[in-house]
Amino acid sequence: MNKRVEPPRLGEPYLLTPGPLTTSFKVKQAMLRDWGSWDADFRQMTAELRARLVAMLGDGGEAYDCVPLQGSGTFIVEAMLGSLVPRNGKVLVLANGAYGKRAAHTLACLGRKYVLLDKGDYLPPRGVEVAEALAADDKITHVVAIHCETSSGILNPLAEISEATYAFGRKLLIDSMSAFGAIPVEPAKIRFEALVSSANKCIEGVPGFGFALVRRSELEEASGNSHSLSLDLHAQWRHMNETGQWRFTPPTHVVSAFLQALTEHREEGGVAARGARYARNRDLLVTGMRGLGFETLLNERWLSPIIVTFFSPADPAFSFDRFYDLMKARGFIIYPGKLTVVESFRIGCIGQMDEAVMHEVVRAARACLDEMGVGSAAPSDTALEERARLGAA
């Protein structure tokens, strides 16, 4: 049933990073042609991309429209916040890592009022905490949640966050950048006004644009909200609906690659099958790395199938830079940590990889430890105490 993933054919290393990530050969091949952005063929490609992303929402998706926008993921987050939060609005930002903090920083740049609920690196914001914050401040109009906080890999409990938000009559905006396409966000089950993601995460395309899935009634009301000419979702949406074209030069090759990635996503079995493959990758990786003595930052309960953070070994013979170089020499690009307190590194589970690849990743990690003369991959007592103190819940 499961389509085999393809190893990179061009001799390049696997990207164990949460986007850009390892894409299929056909996705790369789909970029070997030039497209006229005004031409009917490309307009048809844009229409298909939008329709297929809306369909990926599942039940309840009919009320939403898709607005793609040029740029990296941060651009579409900024566009969502600037276009959908009115200038006199106020946002509750739920943070437990770098991307939540970036959303708050973005609101500061946009001159929108916000309050920050910061849970640190280990724990998710819970529904009861959201309810408390909303009960305490009736000026808050919107809640912003990060679906998978990619800086630690924590999977935040969207359903209870959504329930609390709407129990107080507020609106939920979701950064589902690193989760959409692998973890379901069905509007019939989880209420929200908008979510954003990008081409180079779980759909396995290449970088170049992001997209927002927005309740149509919110788009209709968003006229004039935006601070920005080019990051205005309402203007992009209206222009696309009227002309079939992007407002400014679209990343044509990236769109073509993305359509191939969407086809492969469907052939694999859609969101459920994609998520299941990533979860198998994660399980094999975590079991294998624990077998070498490594420990995960997060408790089992919050580990996402997207990316896993491991503590760096306490053994003085371990150096992350050396480990990185040795892993790269074996064909694997890993990711540095993005935590505030303890030393860590991350390994992504997404992209054209399966359990056979993850098995090789663990073997490579063992060989690298041996080469560095690291006897044990166990983290420091300080790291474990931190985890016990801050991660208990």
Ligand X SMILES: *Cc1c(COP(=O)(O)O)cnc(C)c1O
Binding site for ligand X (CB under 6 A): 18-19, 72-74, 77, 99, 146, 150, 175, 177-178, 198
- Least distance to ligand X from the beta carbon of 167, Å? 25
Sign of CA dihedral 292, 295, 301, 305: negative
What would you report as the CA-atom Rg of the chain, rounded to the nearest whole angstrom?
21
- Give the whole-angstrom CA distance, residue 131 versus residue 111: 25
Which residue is it, tokens 């005004």?
Answer: 38
Choose between 178 and 312: whose C-beta lies nearer to ligand X.
178
Q: Compute the least distance from the CB of residue 180 to ligand X, in Å.
A: 10
* Residue with the shortest CB distance to ligand X: 73
C-alpha–C-alpha distance, residues 206 and 77, integer Å:
18
Separation of alpha carbons 255 and 365, rounded Å? 35
Q: Is 33 flagged in the annotation as binding?
A: no
Task: For residue 78, count other CB atoms closer than 10 A to its CB.
Answer: 24
Shortest reach from residue 230's CB to ligand X, in Å:
15
With a CB cutoff of 8 Å and minimum separation 6, the contacts of 373 are: 317
Distance of CA 149 to the CA centre of its chain: 7
In the complex with ligand X, the residue whose CB is nearer, 150 or 256, is 150
Using alpha carbons, select from 357, 312, 355 the residue that is nearest to residue 333.
357
Q: In what order do the strands lie in the sheet with 90-95?
A: 64-70, 209-215, 194-198, 171-175, 142-146, 90-95, 113-118
> In Å, how far are 28, 266, 267, 273, 296 from 1, measured between CA atoms?
24, 13, 10, 10, 31
- Nearest distance from residue 293's CB to ligand X, in Å? 28
Q: Distance between CA 203 and CA 209 in Å, rounded?
A: 12
Tell me how far, at minimum, the Cβ of 197 lies from ligand X, in Å. 9
CB of 332 to ligand X, least distance (A): 20
Block residue for tokens 């009960």? 135
- Give residues with Cβ within 8 angstroms of 111, minimum separation 6: 87, 227
Separation of alpha carbons 75 and 82, rounded Å:
10
**Tokens in use for 347?**
């390994």
200 Cβ contact list (under 8 Å, min separation 6): 19, 20, 21, 206, 207, 208
CB 386 to ligand X: min, Å: 23
And the tokens for 132?
A: 């408390």
- Give least dist CB 73 to ligand X, A: 3
Shortest Å, Cβ 7 to ligand X: 24
| The pair of three-digit structure tokens given for residue 215, joined into one six-digit string | 């309740």
Residue 177 or 368: the one with the smaller Cβ distance to ligand X is 177
Contact 308, 286 (CB under 8 A): yes
In the annotated binding site for substrate, the residues are 346
